[in-house]
Chain A
């Protein structure tokens, strides 16, 4: 667009035509105060804080709704302007309570800041203020009416941003007030976006209210551990008796792939960490019952039994199950442990998407995977299957925002009119379970059309849909676990012209687990076993035969041929409904946060740290690599990385070959002690001793492992600098998975929805309260979603 020249406070500036005055000022560092203006939302012009003087205009104008015009001369800092802003503040503060000392927003409140900048701190009102009691709208949303300054940001973010439209305005003028959609409570997605966006303390979070104050917390930027989208979150942590405690989750740092967004899980569901059932001590089965034991005892027992099994029956009698919630470093190390220390390829994990087929289909094509950021800017998006609103909330937000702000064209193929069809340009309703046929049809196979016909979908419609898609440049194609093997490959091969793809896994590090080679037949980077030698000298001994997958391991267990099973952060017994007796003769070791169904069968249970309690990296489902930073502490537990290395060490393995001990590892998880200053009592150490916990210091540096991953795993050789600055870096899919034709039948979608998150969700008090509240709702469809 043509550029427009304007003058602001005597400074000349140039901006594209159509830019709002407030944005133009911001671009040169002149801040115009605003309450109701929010980038990316519709204009409101409600608060009139942004008044500026424009030459030749008789009155002050609102900068947030004025589009710049050639030759405009603007004054943002004259006495008139200042006076006007002060007067607006006076209006706002007229019935505003003096709650700052107890208000959650205190310290990060935009109204406080404005009052400091423009005065108006003395009220001219002599009447009593009109007080209204605080209202609870949902388990997580509270509303304090007198504090509301009616900026309507919450209404707009809920409606336009979330497409939920749960908040509205009642009455007019001085009586206007924000109201929830159901008389006195909310029925919504409980995302907390309205709380986050509220410039004042009117909307507050049930999980954080009155707990502490913003300046009392340290803010740790890390990655959400729930779904596979990988939102960047900021965890507010406070020092407590037991070390750092996480008290708040939000995204004050908007630089992540998620921008403004966080869903309910990212914002509130960190409370499982403090659940009383959390395992804090190793358990060893003695006389049939799991009894608390010391780390030393437990680890020695594990190492002893592993060594016995390996030395008598060989690696083939041992199995390892990895996790899609542990970090890349831990997954990499786990398969290395299996292959080098146990000398077996019997390693598997809970698969939620056919990543090997995906990578195989993409081989030879550079830049063919879309990042989460691409979804926000792509001109067109094709979504086959899945319901991102509930399973991939960030993805749904990216799609909605792209459609709303950039006019992207969304094509949806689904068996159900999912919520995103509201944004769709074209919606193809297909019979249930026919996603693979739809993919085949879109890839050009006309014979697949028969299986797609429904009352709403005719042959003409199908053909028209395909034609439109073929006309799309730079399409982003998104599909979930419904597409596997050949259909997936056919679809990926068919579309061309700059199309990019996203294959949706379900857990925080599902993609990472697959990339790191938690497969019996694939090495990290989806390399075939025959290429083991490229990983280094010791890898030459890796067996060339593919190992057992999970099903085969269970079968071997039934035949009493599986001597040990090492399960890290996974619950296969519940997920795959495994017959518990199948593992009766197997020495099962489980590393987990809670006593899951699998842990219940184990001989040894080792308490592990969750992803908020360690550093490392996650790869989201699009392939965006991000760093995790340690936020909270939990006494008694150890990160999986450390546990794996310690077992290897006790088994007599040279751990230098397993995990490089980096002398520069000062960023590693050095346990919870922050060290003592002179004259200070090491309260942490005393506390630990008194509670009977062993001191926890981990000398193993995840970053040293990451360096190795970057060196040897194809696609992960990305810029360190970006990564260490806390940014997301897109990995390439440079692997060459051996092409398998049959669909991977071990793929089991996790069926999580907005309010569940596997074991972690079960132990999250907030999520359970929200689910309970929803089950009491009269609305049937909502019930269905809540009950899923």
Chain B
């Protein structure tokens, strides 16, 4: 009796194992998957590395109002503002962010900055491969976060494009923003 019930239990357990072995895998195959994301999958609202958006004319949306910096609970946003001039126009309003840094040593990806932004300039992208061995390289500059020119708008320049795509973008659209040093 004991032997039979033991075997039955074993069979039941192994059935699960074999069933799972034979059914298609649902684990994300990151980083060996296909596509530019190499298998990573995101919910639309995933909060990754920030993207600074551009408006429909390709001008930066950020007007350097410092509201994101004020809202940030970990105090990791640093901005220096400057005047737009007729010859040197960066954003749509009177002022633009000459320097815009986010310190990812401190950012807790809470999304408060995105909430605070009156111009929808700052959004969370899907970039998540931020790990590094050098803490000082975690201070991202504006150039690293800025959305590419309109053709590639809405994507994250650093994280969503493969090397080939970048080269292609550079050939066709004059670059994906000046994020490369």
Contact = CB atoms under 8 A, between A and B. Distances in A.
Interface of A: 100-102, 106, 134, 209-213, 215-216, 240, 679, 681
A106 B93 CA distance: 15
A213 B65 CA distance: 7
B134 to A, nearest CB: 11
A216 to B, nearest CB: 5
30 contacts: A100-B65, A100-B118, A101-B63, A101-B65, A101-B67, A101-B93, A101-B118, A101-B119, A102-B63, A102-B93, A102-B94, A102-B95, A106-B65, A134-B94, A209-B83, A210-B64, A210-B81, A210-B95, A211-B81, A212-B81, A213-B66, A213-B81, A215-B66, A215-B70, A216-B66, A216-B69, A216-B79, A240-B80, A681-B135, A681-B136
B82 interface: yes
A240 to B, nearest CB: 8
B87 to A, nearest CB: 16
Q: 4 shortest A-B CB distances, which residue pairs? A: A101-B65, A210-B95, A213-B66, A101-B118
Contacts of A100: 65, 118
Find the residue from A102, A134, A209 having the highest chain B CB count within 10 A.
A102
Contacts of A209: 83
Interface string B123-137: 000000000000110
A671 B39 CA distance: 52
A680 to B, nearest CB: 8
Contacts of A679: 105
Contacts of A134: 94
Contacts of A211: 81
A620 B63 CA distance: 43
Contacts of A240: 80
A259 B135 CA distance: 48
Interface residues of B, number: 20
Interface of B: 63-67, 69-70, 79-83, 93-95, 105, 118-119, 135-136
B83 A210 contact: yes
Nearest to A209: B83
Contacts of A210: 64, 81-83, 94-95
Contacts of B81: 210-213
Contacts of B94: 102, 134, 210
Find the residue from B65, B82, B135, B136 having the highest chain A CB count within 10 A.
B65
A106 B94 CA distance: 14
Nearest to B83: A210
A13 B95 CA distance: 49
A102 B65 CA distance: 6
Contacts, number: 41
A441 B70 CA distance: 65
A241 to B, nearest CB: 10
Nearest to B105: A679
A211 B93 CA distance: 14
Nearest to B135: A681
A238 to B, nearest CB: 9
A212 B67 CA distance: 11
A210 B70 CA distance: 16
Given A101-B63, A102-B65, 10 more contacts: A101-B118, A102-B64, A106-B65, A210-B81, A210-B83, A210-B94, A211-B81, A213-B66, A213-B81, A215-B66
Contacts of A101: 63, 65, 67, 93, 118-119
A240 B69 CA distance: 15
A604 B70 CA distance: 47
A422 B14 CA distance: 105
A209 B69 CA distance: 19
Contacts of B63: 101-102
A681 B83 CA distance: 30
Contacts of A216: 66, 69-70, 79
A212 B66 contact: yes
B62 to A, nearest CB: 10
A106 B118 CA distance: 13
A211 B66 CA distance: 11
A679 B64 CA distance: 28
Nearest to A214: B66
Contacts of B82: 210
A210 B65 CA distance: 9
Find the residue from B63, B79, B81, B82 having the highest chain A CB count within 10 A.
B81
A681 B66 CA distance: 23
A215 B68 CA distance: 12
Contacts of A681: 135-136
Nearest to A106: B65
A101 B71 CA distance: 14
Contacts of B79: 216
Contacts of A212: 66, 80-81
B139 to A, nearest CB: 9
A240 B78 CA distance: 10
A679 B74 CA distance: 14
B132 to A, nearest CB: 14
Nearest to A101: B65
A647 to B, nearest CB: 38
Contacts of A215: 66, 70
A4 to B, nearest CB: 45
Contacts of B83: 209-210
A265 to B, nearest CB: 24
Nearest to A211: B81
Nearest to B67: A101
A101 B121 CA distance: 12
A196 B26 CA distance: 64
Find the residue from A210, A211, A215, A679 having the highest chain B CB count within 10 A.
A210
Nearest to A134: B94
B99 to A, nearest CB: 10
A240 B118 CA distance: 25
Contacts of A213: 65-66, 70, 81
Contacts of B118: 100-101
A100 B136 CA distance: 34
Contacts of B67: 101
A102 B69 CA distance: 14
Find the residue from A100, A101, A134, A215 having the highest chain B CB count within 10 A.
A101
Contacts of B136: 681
Contacts of B69: 216
B57 to A, nearest CB: 17
Contacts of A102: 63-65, 93-95
B94 to A, nearest CB: 5
Nearest to A210: B95
Nearest to B118: A101
Nearest to B81: A210
A209 B66 CA distance: 14
A60 B69 CA distance: 43
A213 B66 CA distance: 7
B89 to A, nearest CB: 14
A211 B79 CA distance: 10
Nearest to A680: B105
A210 B66 CA distance: 11
Nearest to B78: A239
Nearest to B136: A681
A213 B118 CA distance: 15
Nearest to B92: A102
A615 B118 CA distance: 40
A345 to B, nearest CB: 51
Contacts of B93: 101-102
Nearest to B69: A216
A100 B118 CA distance: 9
